[in-house]
Homo-oligomer: A and B are copies of this chain.
Amino acid sequence: MSNNSIKNRLDNQRLAEAFKALSNPNRLKIFQQLMDCCTPGTVCSTEEVTKSCVGDLGNGLDIAPSTLSHHIKELSRAGLIRMERRGQHVDCWIDPGILEQLSRFFKGDPNP
């Protein structure tokens, strides 16, 4: 079976990694915060808000900065979010397309 025929399709391994990234309550909260504040492909901080996404995403989580950094890196390695340095800060946003792909997986679509 050529289950990799379509490039955009998430195979078993990549899917499992995405779910693993979301399996930690703190990481899931970070992801949800990004879902709330960022439309896919758009950087979280607008022009007038110069705060860093990384720092902001720790609000209400009660974890050390090193732990926050680690979680965000995990989300990035799993392909769920993107990050880019912007001065002192590092902006984060949800990978464009990943929400659609994961949503379709649970619909049982043969072409996620």
Q: Which residues of A contact B (CB under 8 A)?
A: 12-13, 15-17, 19-20, 22-25, 28-29, 32, 35, 99-100, 102-108
Contacts and interface: CB of A to CB of B under 8 A. Distances in A.
B103 A99 contact: no
B25 A23 contact: no
B12 A16 contact: no
Contacts of A105: 103
A86 to B, nearest CB: 24
B32 A23 contact: no
A106 B19 CA distance: 12
Contacts of A106: 99-100, 102-103, 106
B32 A25 contact: no
18 contacts: A12-B29, A16-B22, A16-B24, A16-B25, A16-B28, A17-B23, A19-B20, A19-B22, A19-B28, A20-B20, A20-B23, A23-B23, A35-B108, A99-B106, A99-B108, A102-B106, A103-B106, A106-B106
